[in-house]
Amino acid sequence: MTAKPLLILIAGPYRSGTDGDPQAMAANLTRLESAAWPIFAAGHLPVIGEWIALPVLRSADAGPTDPLADQVLYPTADRLLAHCDAVLCLPGESAGADQDVATARRRGLPVYHDVTELPRRTPQETA
């Protein structure tokens, strides 16, 4: 068991394979978010880079398909990983998720591929 709650970055496809279709990107974000509850229920704190990057883009009057997106999405994940304790990488082709995993491994962070692999905190540890 781990006493400290982990900050876990959920990585996976967001823009990949969508051809810029907003509905497809929204579906991908929903899929990423579906891992948030199991991470939280295990006693940890989930985070998704797009939760931070998308408001940053909106504040610059841009969106995920604008040229500015590559200057925000990937750097946001990189900066966020400086604070994370682990990565949960969901299946699917994604250059961004591949980059997140490579960065995590370079920094010595654990990379999980299924929520069942996460260390669980006991109820006493989460209180």
Decide: pTM greater than 0.75.
yes
The predicted-structure confidence for 85-103, as pLDDT tens digits, reads as follows: 999 999 999 999 999 999 9
Direct distance between the N- and C-terminal alpha carbons of the chain, in angstroms, rounded to an integer: 14
Output the pLDDT for position 121.
85
Domains, the chain, in order of start with CATH, read 7-126 (3.40.50.10400)
- Chunked mean pLDDT (size 10), the chain, 127 residues: 85 94 96 97 96 97 94 94 97 94 97 95 64
- Tokens read off for 70: 């590559």
Q: Are 84 and 101 in contact (CB under 8 A)?
A: no
Cross-strand bridge partners of residue 110: none
Tell the burial category of 13 from Cβ atoms under 10 Å away from its Cβ (0-12, 13-18, 19+): buried
Per DSSP, 10 falls in state: E
DSSP 28-52: HHHHHHTTHHHHHHTT-EEE-HHHH
DSSP 90-118: PSS--HHHHHHHHHHHHTT--EESSGGGS
